[in-house]
Amino acid sequence: MSSVLGVSVGAGAVRIARPIAGDSAETAAFDVQAVPVGERRVDELTADVIGAVLAADSRISATAITYRDENHARAIRAELARRQFTNYELVPDVVAALEFLEYSGELQGFGTVALYDLGASGLSVTVVDTATRQVCFTERTSDISGDYLDSLIREQQIASGRIAHPPDHTGLAALDALCREAKEQLSTSNAVALPSTEGLVLLSQENFEALIMLAVESSARMTRDVILRSEQPVQAVALLGGCAQIPLVARVLRRWLGVPVTVPAAPDTVVTRGAALLARPVMARPAPAPFPAAHDSAPAAPAEPAQSWPSGHRVAVEKSGRRREISLAGVAVGALVVVAAIGITLGWGSQVLSHDSQRQDAVTSSVPVTTTRPAESTTVAPTTSDATNESLAAPQPHSYATTTTEAPPTTPGPNTITIIPGLPPVIVPTIPPLFPAPAAPQ
């Protein structure tokens, strides 16, 4: 008979959950074990625990491992690949927690909930939609944690004078473990007394709650802020993690949030048991297709209509394209010739044909030239050689003032001057004398 394995990877311990012999994962009855992390790396310890369980129980056909974030998953995946483990899947711890809480009926009737997970290394608050299992908002802090609460107990015991300060790191770690045990016992009792080599750890429930009140209220304030930032109608809060067993935590959250607060049985193993419920055997994947050879990568043949075109039609199309290019070139050359002829007519020819790149560009004439013709009158403004070059590249349109009647031809006279042969003569107007001639004597 096959079995499954659920693994949750925490900062303080690696927990595994297996269905009790003779039952399946759907019965929700599990054999849960925890392995403290200590000074070891979490990913290495996780691989060691999984390898030991698989070697001891050959019936396990599927393994599900939870992770907190992408960096956490990447480290676990790399270590398992180094050990050549393949028959496993990684699932988010939020999804695993929802899987077990929905199965156990803790969240029945709630659409949007907040998961308050207070563990050894920190607090995570996540707002999630139970129907779609989509995370709406999440936030994590290490300001409050199980280790921080343990340190509060340790400092209080040392300050009371009953416990001497440990002389080395080993003694300090042993005292922290003793304070952690006292915290866990206070979840079900009113007082605890634990002997140690450094003295007696003595703590009551009242003193413990007064000691951690500020930290718990700070966590409640953070939970409220996360719910407000998520902009979702949170209907309930579920407490997870080892510190969720502290009675003060649920009381403070109910007072601060005003919504139902549920604490499942053994909240520190909810994620582990949810992982066991999600464990599925990895299906055999098809072999990847072979990489195509060089001849397989040749372009495909054209469509059938393209193949039926005669080759002569292609040649005719190419020739037509060449003729179009030639005709366009001829039009461009003809435009340049016309522009040059206009420039020569207006007196620019000598400058255009003999323009020297080393000559300083200057104004060719400071006085406008006015030309009068029988049917048109054109006034040419002064220009420069740069303007001449631009007119050759893109000739500017000229405006002509046309008349409906033609003037009679001008007969040559004393005031008629021929400037350019072949063009109409220019009539120079007679300028009246500045001072009038004296009148003849009577």
Q: Which tens digits make up the pLDDT trace of 77-105?
A: 999 999 999 889 999 999 999 999 999 99
Backbone angles phi, psi at 206, to 5 degrees: -65, -45
Which candidate, 94, 97, 116, places its Cα nearest to that of 256? Answer: 116
**pLDDT for 133-184, tens place per residue?**
999 999 999 999 999 999 999 999 999 988 888 888 888 888 999 999 999 9
Q: How many domains does the chain have?
A: 2
| Helix H or strand E segment including 246 | none
Domain boundary among the residues 216, 233, 263 is at 263
Q: Residue 199's pLDDT is what? A: 87
Q: Are residues 122 and 257 in the same domain?
A: yes
Whole-structure pTM value: 0.63
Q: Do 97 and 128 share a domain, yes or no?
A: no
Judge if 132 and 216 occupy the same domain. Answer: yes
Domain check: are 169 and 248 in the same one?
A: yes
| Contact (CB, 8 A) for 95 and 133 | yes
Does a structural domain hold residue 154? yes
The whole-angstrom separation of Cα 436 and Cα 432 is 8
- Roughly what angle, to the nearest 10 degrees, separates helices 270-278 and 93-104? 90
Shared domain for 102 and 161, answered yes or no, is no
Judge if 159 and 203 occupy the same domain: yes
Residues 116 and 259 placed together within one structural domain of the fold: yes
Q: What is the mean pLDDT of residues 368-374?
A: 42
Question: What are 270-317's pLDDT values in tens digits?
Answer: 999 999 999 988 753 334 434 333 333 334 444 444 333 334 444 444
Closest CA to 118 of 229, 275, 228, 12: 12
Q: Is 390 inside any structural domain?
A: no
Does the pLDDT value for residue 398 go beyond 50? no
The first and second tokens of residue 382, run together, are 């002064």
Instruction: Find the helix packing angle between 205-230 and 247-257, rounded to 10°.
Output: 40
Asked if the structure places residue 62 within a domain, the reply is yes
Q: Domain for residue 28, yes or no? A: yes
Residue that finishes a domain, picked among 219, 250, 282 = 282
- pLDDT of residue 351 exceeding 80, the answer is no
* Domain residue limits at 252: 108-263
Separation of alpha carbons 247 and 194, rounded Å? 21
Does one domain contain both 47 and 77?
Answer: yes
Q: Tell me the CATH number at 102.
A: 3.30.420.40
E strand map for 153-281: 191-196, 199-204, 236-240, 261-262
- Please report the beta strands in 221-309, taking only residues with DSSP state E, as ranges in sequence order: 236-240, 261-262
Confidence of residue 33 (pLDDT cuts 50, 70, 90): very high
Task: Find all residues with CB under 8 Å of 231, minimum gap 6, and list them.
Answer: 136
319, part of any domain: no
Residue 403 placed within a domain: no
